[in-house]
Amino acid sequence: MIAIPVLLSSQCSYPTKSKTSKEPQIQIHFISDEYEETKKIPSALLESKDLLLILAELSKKEDPSMRFISTNRTEEIMEVNGKRNSWSEGWVVYVNEERVDGVQMKRGVRVSPSDKIEIRYEAVERVFGRPTP
């Protein structure tokens, strides 16, 4: 018979981390009738980042797969995970329940972990192909 030493839990002491000490994160919630997902981007608590740059980085990683249209004046999300804008519906960006249009995105919208960011696929009105507020 071979004796195997066993450590009792009272003999071991490991530092424990609480699950509440997570790094702050900027959360972006994508919502459509076929797709719902939340993306989390690490960020310092008081740090703000440009929303367009965050979306471009997610697009570059294809997480989720996104396509933008970019002109001198505006930015617009055209497609997320294969769900494309149409003449009557499209991807709309909201920050803290306020709609953010493409011109505001182009000028720069700063977001931080305390902001509520949603990108929803919903009914839109378009004039000459551009959504109207």
Q: What is the CATH number of the domain that holds 126?
A: 2.170.130.30
Mean pLDDT of 108-116: 95
Per the CB < 8 A criterion, the answer to whether 91 and 78 are in contact is yes
Q: Do the domain assignments include residue 17?
A: no
Q: Do the domain assignments include residue 105?
A: yes
pLDDT digits (tens, 9 = 90+) for 13-47: 444 444 444 788 999 999 999 889 999 998 887 88
With residue 107 as reference, give the H or E element that holds it.
helix 102-107
Q: Do the domain assignments include residue 2?
A: no
pLDDT band at 51 (very low <50, low <70, confident <90, very high): very high
103 Cβ contact list (under 8 Å, min separation 6): 73, 74
Q: Is this model's pTM higher than 0.85 or not?
A: no
Q: Do the domain assignments include residue 55?
A: yes
Q: Which amino acid is at 106?
A: K
β-bridge mates for residue 84, sequence order = 79
Q: Looking at the 3D structure of the chain, how many domains does it have?
A: 1
- Enclosing domain of residue 98: 25-132
Q: Do the domain assignments include residue 42?
A: yes
